């Protein structure tokens, strides 16, 4: 298979930008169908596809995902739609043997996660959660360094989604965006897989380790009301609306091997963007917010009381320990948004489907990471009580066989796969 015949479902801001800027320029992808609930989005995507492929090469169009997935010219589907639609579309596709690449978001119920796992185990249809942060340059460099022992034994990790989304949420009705309805009705860690994905890979989750339990705490909600009250074009009803979602949600996860993980959701207060990626071990640490490594053996008498002169020292470490995926990527040209992460994660999915290789972020990863959302919702509702994680592998995590070595495998770094 030279090209993977692919349907794009969900053509809002994220979906359309991925289609226009990335997918239509990938040699291993052929967009054969486009779908969204809104006709104007479908038409815009079809027009862009025909412009890219030439007159007469217009994809099939529909506002019904089932019509798309019932076709015989679709090998894979990219689900880029609203969060609540992800699972139904994925399950329908898997039942028809259509490989699923699903954009990130949290689960609405544990039952959804179990259905995803059981459908995969019955159908063996390829599934990949498209968590782009697993392919970030810093995340992959840290993964590389951890694998070489520079951090010693990893003890604690932190990450999160800290992104001022007030404008996107408050104008959600006008922009037909799903976040508004979610923030009005749910209180949870609603976007956990940034940076939980890379952390889970570093901590061998589902491959000798697993999440055991979590506790979530939510602050009050005030940011969106204040923003709506002060913005001249905002719906005035939102200034007094009762938003369920707390402005800051903090989640602590305990792992079977004893590590801890702290996640932060912070999207409705003024702040700069940060994923807060932090990895601490017995020999050193990495801190995204200062873009610096603190490696015991490299201290050389440096003052740990004032580390500011070493901020941004990640550059020299990247040069020495850059992940082979990124060495290759920089040599051949970065594609896609978010600093190139989008290009990597989408290409990895397509190549795994094309070549019949195991997807590096599989159904067990997807279920465990997305389950954080509904489990955190339970914990908050119960007054921040601990909540246990299901074991979606049914015990296979203890002695799970590693995926075959290849350049797309995030379990192991296959240096020889990149040799000329």
- Reading the block at residue 344, the tokens are 């990597």
Residue partners of 287: CB distance under 8 A and separation at least 6: 278, 294
Any idea of the CA torsion for 390, 376, 160, 176, to the nearest 10 degrees? 110
Same domain, 290 and 409: yes
pLDDT given for residue 350 in this prediction: 97
Q: pLDDT tens digits, residue range 357-411?
A: 999 999 999 999 999 999 999 999 999 999 999 999 999 999 987 766 777 667 7
CATH number of the domain bearing residue 397: 3.30.360.10
Beta strand pairing call for 154-162 and 292-295: unpaired
Distances (CA, A) of 298 to 164, 283, 313: 36, 10, 12
Same domain, 180 and 230: yes
Instruction: Determine, yes or no, domain membership for 271.
Output: yes
Instruction: Determine, yes or no, domain membership for 162.
Output: yes
User: Domain end: 115, 133, 151, which one?
Assistant: 133
Instruction: Determine, yes or no, domain membership for 38.
Output: yes
What mean pLDDT do residues 163-191 have? 97
Same domain, 115 and 178: no
User: Domain end: 133, 168, 189, which one?
Assistant: 133
pTM here is: 0.95
User: If you ran DSSP here, which 8-state letter would residue 161 be given?
Assistant: E
Same domain, 376 and 270: yes
Whether residue 292 has pLDDT greater than 80: yes
Instruction: Determine, yes or no, domain membership for 37.
Output: yes
Same domain, 45 and 153: no
User: Domain end: 133, 159, 188, which one?
Assistant: 133
How far apart CA 79 and CA 101 sit, in angstroms, is 6
Please enumerate, as own/partner, the contacts of 21-26 that have beta carbons within 8 Å and a separation of 24 or more: 21/336, 21/337, 22/335, 22/336, 22/337, 22/342, 22/343, 22/346, 23/78, 23/346, 24/48, 24/49, 24/52, 24/53, 25/52, 25/335, 26/335, 26/346, 26/347, 26/350
pLDDT given for residue 40 in this prediction: 97
- Reading the block at residue 162, the tokens are 């800290």
How far apart CA 315 and CA 108 sit, in angstroms, is 39
Instruction: Determine, yes or no, domain membership for 337.
Output: no
Instruction: Determine, yes or no, domain membership for 44.
Output: yes
Whether residue 142 has pLDDT greater than 90: yes
Containing structural domain, residue 412: 136-323+363-418
Same domain, 238 and 379: yes
- Reading the block at residue 361, the tokens are 């972020």
Conformational region of residue 356, where left means phi above 0, alpha means psi within -120 to 50, and beta covers everything else: left
CATH number of the domain bearing residue 85: 3.40.50.720
Same domain, 152 and 239: yes
Average pLDDT across the chain, whole number: 94
Same domain, 124 and 167: no
Instruction: Determine, yes or no, domain membership for 338.
Output: no
Instruction: Determine, yes or no, domain membership for 16.
Output: yes
Same domain, 389 and 377: yes
Same domain, 140 and 114: no
Same domain, 148 and 293: yes
Q: Are 77 and 100 in contact (CB under 8 A)?
A: yes
Same domain, 142 and 102: no
Domain count, the chain: 2
Q: pLDDT tens digits, residue range 107-129?
A: 999 999 999 999 999 999 999 99
The dihedral built from the CA positions of residue 69, 71, 76 and 82, taken in this order, carries a sign that is negative
């Amino acid at each position: 298979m030279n090209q993977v015949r692919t349907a794009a479902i969900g053509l809002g801001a994220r979906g359309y930008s991925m289609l226009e800027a990335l997918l239509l320029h990938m040699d291993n992808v052929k967009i054969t169908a486009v779908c969204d609930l809104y006709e104007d989005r479908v038409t815009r995507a079809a027009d862009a596809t025909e412009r890219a492929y030439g007159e007469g090469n217009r994809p099939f169009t529909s506002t019904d995902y089932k019509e798309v997935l019932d076709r015989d010219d679709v090998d894979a589907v990219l689900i880029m739609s609203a969060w609540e639609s992800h699972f139904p579309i994925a399950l329908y596709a898997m039942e028809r043997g259509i490989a699923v690449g699903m954009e990130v978001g949290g689960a609405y119920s544990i039952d959804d996660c179990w259905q995803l796992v059981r459908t995969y185990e019955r159908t063996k249809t390829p599934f990949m959660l498209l968590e782009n942060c697993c392919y970030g340059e810093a995340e992959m460099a840290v993964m590389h360094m951890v694998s070489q022992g520079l951090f010693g034994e990893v003890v604690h990790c932190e990450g999160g989604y800290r992104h001022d989304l007030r404008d996107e949420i408050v104008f959600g009705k006008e922009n037909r965006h799903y976040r508004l309805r979610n923030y009005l009705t749910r209180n949870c860690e609603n976007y956990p897989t940034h940076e939980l994905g890379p952390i889970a890979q570093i901590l061998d989750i589902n491959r000798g380790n697993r999440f055991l339990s979590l506790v979530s705490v939510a602050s009050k909600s005030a940011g969106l009301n204040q923003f709506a009250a002060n913005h001249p074009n905002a719906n005035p009803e939102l200034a007094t609306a009762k938003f369920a979602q707390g402005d800051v949600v903090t989640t602590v996860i305990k792992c079977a091997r004893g590590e801890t993980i702290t996640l932060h959701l912070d999207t409705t207060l003024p702040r700069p963007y940060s994923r807060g990626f932090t990895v601490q071990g017995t020999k050193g640490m990495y801190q995204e917010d200062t873009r610096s490594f603190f490696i015991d053996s490299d201290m050389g008498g440096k003052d740990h009381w004032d580390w500011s002169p070493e901020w941004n020292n990640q550059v020299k470490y990247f040069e020495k320990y850059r992940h082979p995926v990124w060495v290759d990527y920089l040599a051949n040209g970065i594609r896609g948004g978010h600093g190139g992460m989008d290009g990597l994660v989408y290409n990895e999915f397509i190549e795994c489907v094309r070549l019949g290789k195991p997807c590096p972020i599989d159904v067990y990863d997807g279920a465990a990471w997305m389950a954080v959302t509904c489990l955190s919702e339970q914990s908050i509702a119960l007054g921040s009580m601990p909540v246990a994680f299901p074991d979606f592998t049914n015990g296979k995590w203890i002695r799970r066989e590693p995926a075959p070595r290849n350049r797309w495998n995030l379990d192991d770094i296959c240096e020889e796969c990149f040799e000329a």
